[in-house]
Amino acid sequence: MNNTKVILTGDRPTGKLHLGHYVGSLRQRVALQHTHQQYILIADLQGLTDNGNTPQKVSNHILEVMADYLATGIDPEKTTLCLQSALPALAELTMLYMNIVTVARVERNPTVKSEIAQKGFSRALPVGFMAYPISQAADITAFQAELVPAGDDQQPMIEQTNEIVRKMNSLTDKPILRHCEALLSQTGRLPGIDGGAKMSKSLGNTLTLSASEDEIHLAVSAMYTDPNHLRVNDPGQIQGNVVFSYLDAFHPCKEKVAAMKAHYARGGLGDRICKNELEECLQALIAPIRTRRAEFIQDKATLLSLLRQGSERAMAVSQQTLYDVKRGLGLPVMF
């Protein structure tokens, strides 16, 4: 390992992982595990912040997400896979950090703001949901993570985490917490298959990593292109055309995609041909993931035991940070 920077990343287990996760962080994590010390947190507590009344939705997806990780190539020997609810230090750090973050500050977090609007919470906003960036700061700092591979919507979480780090470190005689940095994926955010800005389970515009051949075919067929590209010979729009966004994200040959874009823009290249090219890429990407995933999900005992082993390692690291913070604040550490 030539670079031992610590990475923390994670996902809420509220559904199977989809191509948005794959592009936004999964494929990057698979590469990073060879050169970094990586932790992946299954953030079930964070999942509960907007599923308080349907906890089964979260608990049912913990092993599903484990299977997604393993099927995409996360190696539990290299990456520590751990469960948020199994690590009490994360909850305790959250409690401590809550006292140094103002309500005004969490209200200003643009990601949380847009999620609140999208979910239509209004006055029914759960306290836990409002506070989830603080809990995410606890996750990141508990592992002393320096790098957080995440989609661009997570950038405000990193900023908020660093504010907490600065503030906490100013309260203790020597700095205890480490600052962190986002590691954004090169391709950026993947739009939904409907042309929506983001692929998201709650918007129903996803393609999961376990999608069947038919589902992939249907999704690509229904994919949003240029609504004004009525005849093949008409010039077509690339901007906002989901098929091209996906070709950018998934096609192995950049030159080919560039040539297709030029041809489409000047007219003469039909949507069907572009979609066929894309479908071929997606079928080739997802088929092996789907097969491996089906094997893993059959053996829940093994999935659970891998998660327990990872969580044990994560427990030791996160407890140490909690102890250091408590000591730094002058709280008696009794146990």
Write out the residues near ligand TRP by the rule CB under 6 A. 8-12, 41, 43, 46, 136, 139-140, 148, 150
Task: Kindly tell me which of 132 and 246 has the beta carbon lying closer to ligand TRP.
Answer: 132
Q: How far is the CB of 196 from ligand TRP (least distance, A)?
A: 17
- Dist. CA 23–CA 283, nearest whole Å: 15
Q: How far is the CB of 41 from ligand TRP (least distance, A)?
A: 5
Residue nearest to ligand TRP (CB): 43
Structure tokens at 39: 């932790």
Among 101, 88, 79, residue whose Cα is nearest residue 32: 79
- Dist. CA 25–CA 42, nearest whole Å: 14
Q: Where are the alpha helices (DSSP H) in 203-253?
A: 213-222, 242-250
Task: Kindly tell me which of 76 and 149 has the beta carbon lying closer to ligand TRP.
Answer: 149
- Dist. CA 301–CA 13, nearest whole Å: 18
Helix pair 271-298, 62-72: axis angle to 10 deg: 110
Q: How far is the CB of 135 from ligand TRP (least distance, A)?
A: 7
- Dist. CA 242–CA 229, nearest whole Å: 13
Task: Kindly tell me which of 157 and 289 has the beta carbon lying closer to ligand TRP.
Answer: 157
Task: Kindly tell me which of 131 and 269 has the beta carbon lying closer to ligand TRP.
Answer: 131
Q: How far is the CB of 11 from ligand TRP (least distance, A)?
A: 4
Backbone phi, then psi, for 108, in 5-degree steps?
A: -85, -15
Structure tokens at 278: 């894309």
Q: How far is the CB of 145 from ligand TRP (least distance, A)?
A: 7
Task: Kindly tell me which of 70 and 274 has the beta carbon lying closer to ligand TRP.
Answer: 70
